[in-house]
């Protein structure tokens, strides 16, 4: 439980047994939960935060905390996929699609009391790109390569005329223009994401590399304390420009074990937790003090085969693996109500999904036939990286790995399950130091965020697969505003990636939020973004 010492319990005249009673009262006072004095929301999660700087975060354990502290120029409507104003109170796009004008909200303050203005917006974007920028502590940030900002700045931090973005111009203290070299139909969603959060330039200059430990944004919650690998404490930003938080304090408490996390909810030690695995969900559903919200989300889990390593450089081998995996067994054993078998690298609820492609069927005989044709009739050995943390797209990587291991063995592929702490895991995946790995994506409501971001040149292309025709299709699609034309290009692109088979699609995740029955107002966002300012405790 979370406790807050109370220094005084009121007057009491100590006579006789009063001393004993006073002792009892003191003990009671010092074990009073925080939310007896203030409303404190405790969120149980599997992964500890690694950094709290939106410019360096690239994993879920940190991003869900960052999203409470910082705001971006745009946001999604509560529970939906429509892009709405945030730190920019409005925006305009020119007729040719090459000029985006953001009109910033006036009077918005960072948590340190400084102004959020046009200078802060330009500073926030510039510092994330080049290691030689005066206030960049970590080099070019990975996500920029796939979100339209590649080659946006020179090494000294000044803008240069290259890439999708031609320039960023401050026209006055509350107006910023983003000038594009060519129209980009998908670019607006990038201004909703945590990695385009606006940071306090004053705080960045003050803390330097330690800004990741001392985050200062404009969000509904302010940073208070971070106990590494245990919890992060935030407090309500009473001066927030938008809908203010309905609780006074917010705690992110780490429970690496899924069962321990669920038990903490049952015992009332936490108020809400991240999605559980199928077994724990069944137990939570039985508890009368727990209620569960669910919503179809934009999330998918998949297996990458490293096409730069043998034997996965051979398309026939990759197709064989797709036929060797029984997704339905995995769904029933691991996901339950938390997912459905995936077929394409795009959620079926999203426009552009190609429903005319016949998915790979579970067919061990066909898998063996393809392996023999590829020269691997006797099979081969392979390392399979198992995701070490729970995710909406993969609630139990270890269990998924064990089932896949048994399935692959039936066709002669001996898979050794390998895992690491989450930081090392992603470092090795990014470096291509794996044979097969589990990964996934919780994305935005535009096919570009899936088909271009994940499978063209860039760090998110974990399979390291390249196909020029595919890349041309998805690149052309992002330059067209007509949805029907874009859909046609994306459907053709899916035909190519299905045939080339660099990945095994596993599941489309269902977003699930178990919580205590006194939690009200929570909203699930399809993009998996966690927004906790809506929650109240009755």
Number of domains in the chain: 4
Residue 131 inside a domain? The answer is: yes
Cα gap 187→478, rounded to integer Å: 8
Residue 132 inside a domain? The answer is: yes
Residue 200 near residue 207, CB atoms below 8 Å: no
Helix ranges restricted to H, 211-314: 258-267, 278-286
What confidence score (pLDDT) does residue 67 get?
A: 97
For residue 221, the cross-strand partners are 236
Query: Where residue 162 falls among pLDDT bands split at 50, 70, 90?
Result: low
| 43 and 145 both lie in a single domain | no
List, for residues 499-520, the tens digit of each pLDDT value: 999 999 999 999 999 999 999 9
List, for residues 33-85, the tens digit of each pLDDT value: 444 568 999 999 999 999 999 988 878 889 999 999 999 999 999 999 999 99
Percent of the chain with pLDDT over 90: 73
Residue 58 inside a domain? The answer is: no
Cα gap 403→325, rounded to integer Å: 9
What does the angle CA 358 – CA 466 – CA 342 come to, to the nearest 5 degrees? 30
| 304 and 443 both lie in a single domain | yes
Verify cis geometry, omega within 30 degrees of 0, for the bond prior to 311: yes
Least confident of 143-157, 167-181, 371-385: 143-157
Residue 337 near residue 281, CB atoms below 8 Å: yes
Contacting residues for 53 by C-beta, under 8 A, at least 6 apart: 66, 199, 211, 212, 215
| 395 and 366 both lie in a single domain | yes
| 226 and 349 both lie in a single domain | no
Distance separating the N- and C-terminal Cα atoms of the chain: 18
Residue 101 inside a domain? The answer is: yes
| 115 and 158 both lie in a single domain | yes
Domain extent for 219: 38-49+215-294+515-537
CATH number assigned to the domain comprising residue 337: 3.10.105.10
Cα gap 164→143, rounded to integer Å: 14
For residue 537, the cross-strand partners are 519
Cα gap 229→255, rounded to integer Å: 9
- Residue 167 has which token pair? 């320039």
Residue 63 inside a domain? The answer is: no
| 382 and 505 both lie in a single domain | yes
To the nearest 10 degrees (0 to 180), the angle between helices 315-324 and 364-373 is 160
| 433 and 339 both lie in a single domain | yes
CATH number assigned to the domain comprising residue 224: 3.40.190.10
What confidence score (pLDDT) does residue 37 get?
A: 65
| 311 and 324 both lie in a single domain | yes
In the predicted model, what is the mean pLDDT of the chain?
A: 88
Rg, the chain, Cα only: 25
| 202 and 170 both lie in a single domain | yes
| Mean pLDDT (whole number) for 142-153 | 53
Going by their DSSP bridges, the two strands 519-520 and 536-537 should be labelled as antiparallel
Residue 362 inside a domain? The answer is: yes
Residue 207 inside a domain? The answer is: yes
Q: Which of the listed residues 177, 194, 212 is the one where a domain comes to its end?
A: 212
Residue 61 inside a domain? The answer is: no
List, for residues 113-123, the tens digit of each pLDDT value: 999 999 999 99
| 447 and 332 both lie in a single domain | yes
Q: Which of the listed residues 187, 212, 237 is the one where a domain comes to its end?
A: 212
| Mean pLDDT (whole number) for 532-537 | 98
The answer to whether residue 287 scores a pLDDT higher than 90 is yes
Q: Which of the listed residues 190, 212, 234 is the one where a domain comes to its end?
A: 212
Cα gap 150→165, rounded to integer Å: 8
| 258 and 379 both lie in a single domain | no
| 237 and 198 both lie in a single domain | no
């Amino acid at each position: 439980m979370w406790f807050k010492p109370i220094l005084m319990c009121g007057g009491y005249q100590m006579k006789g047994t009063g001393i004993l009673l006073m002792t009892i009262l003191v003990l009671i006072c010092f074990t009073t939960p925080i939310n007896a004095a203030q409303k404190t929301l405790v969120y149980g999660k599997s992964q500890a935060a690694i950094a709290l700087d939106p410019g360096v975060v690239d994993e879920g354990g940190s991003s869900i905390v960052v999203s409470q502290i910082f705001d971006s120029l745009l946001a999604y409507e509560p529970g939906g996929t429509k892009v709405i104003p945030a730190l920019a109170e409005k925006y305009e796009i020119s007729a040719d699609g090459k000029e985006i004008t953001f009109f910033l909200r006036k009077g918005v303050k960072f948590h340190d009391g400084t102004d959020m203005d046009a200078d802060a917006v330009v500073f926030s974007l510039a510092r994330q790109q080049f290691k030689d920028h005066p206030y960049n502590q970590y080099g070019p940030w990975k996500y920029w390569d796939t979100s339209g900002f590649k080659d946006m700045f020179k090494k000294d931090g000044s803008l240069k005329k290259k890439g999708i973005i031609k320039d960023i111009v401050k026209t006055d203290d509350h107006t910023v223009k983003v000038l594009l070299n060519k129209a980009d139909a998908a670019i607006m969603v990038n201004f909703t994401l945590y990695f385009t959060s606006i940071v306090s330039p004053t705080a960045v200059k003050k803390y330097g590399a330690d800004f990741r430990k001392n985050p200062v944004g404009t969000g509904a919650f302010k940073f208070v304390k971070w106990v590494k690998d245990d919890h992060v404490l935030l407090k309500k930003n009473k001066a927030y420009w938008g809908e203010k938080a309905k609780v006074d304090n917010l705690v992110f408490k780490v429970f690496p074990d899924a069962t321990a996390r669920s038990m903490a909810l049952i015992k009332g030690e936490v108020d809400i937790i991240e999605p559980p695995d199928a077994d724990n969900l069944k137990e939570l559903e039985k508890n009368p003090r727990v209620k569960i919200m669910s919503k179809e989300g934009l999330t998918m889990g998949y297996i990458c085969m490293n096409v730069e390593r043998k034997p996965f450089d051979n398309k026939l081998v990759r197709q064989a693996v797709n036929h060797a995996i029984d997704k339905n067994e995995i769904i029933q054993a691991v996901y339950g109500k938390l997912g459905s078998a995936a077929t394409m690298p795009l959620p079926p609820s999203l426009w552009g999904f190609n429903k005319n492609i016949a998915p790979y069927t579970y067919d061990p005989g066909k898998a063996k036939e393809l392996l023999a044709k590829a020269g691997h009739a006797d099979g081969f050995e392979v390392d399979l990286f198992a995701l070490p943390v729970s995710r909406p797209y993969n609630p139990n990587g270890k269990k998924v790995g064990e089932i896949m291991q048994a399935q692959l063995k039936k066709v002669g592929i001996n898979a050794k399950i390998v895992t690491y702490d989450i930081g090392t895991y992603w470092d090795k995946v990014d470096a291509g130091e794996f044979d097969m790995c589990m990964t996934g994506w919780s994305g935005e409501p535009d096919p570009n965020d899936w088909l271009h971001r994940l499978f063209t040149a860039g760090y998110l292309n974990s399979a390291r697969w390249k196909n020029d025709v595919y890349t041309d299709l998805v690149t052309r699609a992002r330059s067209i505003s007509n949805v029907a034309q874009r859909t046609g290009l994306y459907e053709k692109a899916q035909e190519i990636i299905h045939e080339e088979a660099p990945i095994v699609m596993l599941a489309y995740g269902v977003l699930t939020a178990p919580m205590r029955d006194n939690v009200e107002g929570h909203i699930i966002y399809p993009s998996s973004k966690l927004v906790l300012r809506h929650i109240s405790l009755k």
